[in-house]
Amino acid sequence: MNLACKNAIVERDVAHLIFPDEVQTLPAGDGVEAGTRDGRLGDRRMLLAADTLAAALQRLKDAKRPVVIVGYGALGRMGYVIKLAEKLKAPVLTTFKAKGQIADDHPHAAGVLGRSGTPVASWCMNESDLLLVFGASFSNHTGITSKKSIIQVDYDPMTLGKFHSVEVPVLGEIGLTAEWLWRALPDNPGVDDQRPELVERWGIWRDEKARRRERNRDKGINSAVLFDVLSRIAPAKAVIAVDVGNNTYSFGRYFECRGQRVLMSGYLGSIGFAFPAAMGAWSATQVQADHTAAAR
């Protein structure tokens, strides 16, 4: 069991265990404690080669309109990614699977790229001169163009340049690499301040969403209305499990995250994912709440 858990954490992949029927019903021994990470997992936050870091840093120094794109691989590593974007005065775009990793009301947020995304994110990418990509796969659904200068940062060597070559492939832990770049960049890197344009683009998109809410085709509530209401009433700490279908595309396009966590099955390949995912999220948050209460 410990080895299976370690495989799941280290390899970020499936760990599959099969038990005989009679083993499944055996009670645990008295005083047996569950395994932990202690003494079993090393610290994988390793910096990459100095020449690769220097190349990435130089590309950022040369850029005038960089944008930051984050995929699901940047989950839990967003602190320095956002600080780096703030120093670069750059918008932060997400893949659909990474929706919610930066709140849509953050001054640097540009929303989701791709078919499930917003025109805000697409416009920012089209107007950029450098893409700084953290933890994204570059699959077709991400909508990340291959026609720009790209720095790709990922912990998985097979993901770097998976579908096409990139200018600077960076093999490294995402949070640590973002922190190094943030510290190495000068306080005034000489980039364009894209934040006023970002405010303008959000205004255009929200006006368009308002027009769409007014459409009445006598076929029930349209998705723009539904997700506008949900954006306003969903608790900021909610965990939202997303299933498959047109409702999912509409969620990516219209729902505005204010801190909610979003769970989805890869790129929409598993119908029926949302219900068990919601059960898992409830179980995880309930256990966390119980541990917090016990600690008090």
- State pLDDT tens for residues 257-284: 998 999 988 666 678 889 999 999 999 8
pTM of the model: 0.84
169 and 269 together in one domain: no
Q: Is residue 164 included in any domain, yes or no?
A: yes
61 and 162 together in one domain: yes
- What digits encode the pLDDT tens for the residues 186-228? 998 999 999 999 999 999 999 999 999 988 877 788 899 999 9
- What digits encode the pLDDT tens for the residues 79-116? 999 999 999 999 999 999 899 999 999 999 999 998 88
Backbone angles phi, psi at 152, to 5 degrees: -115, 125
Nearest to 240 by CA among 225, 232, 251: 251
- Structural domain boundaries enclosing 231: 219-295
Backbone angles phi, psi at 158, to 5 degrees: -75, -20
99 and 234 together in one domain: no
Q: Could you give the 3-state DSSP secondary structure of residue 239?
A: strand
Structure tokens at 239: 């965990």
Q: Is residue 177 included in any domain, yes or no?
A: yes
Identity of the residue numbered 58: Q
Q: Could you give the CA distance from residue 65 to residue 129 in angstroms, rounded to a whole number?
A: 5
Count how many domains the chain has.
2
CATH number of residue 267's parent domain: 3.40.50.970
84 and 174 together in one domain: yes
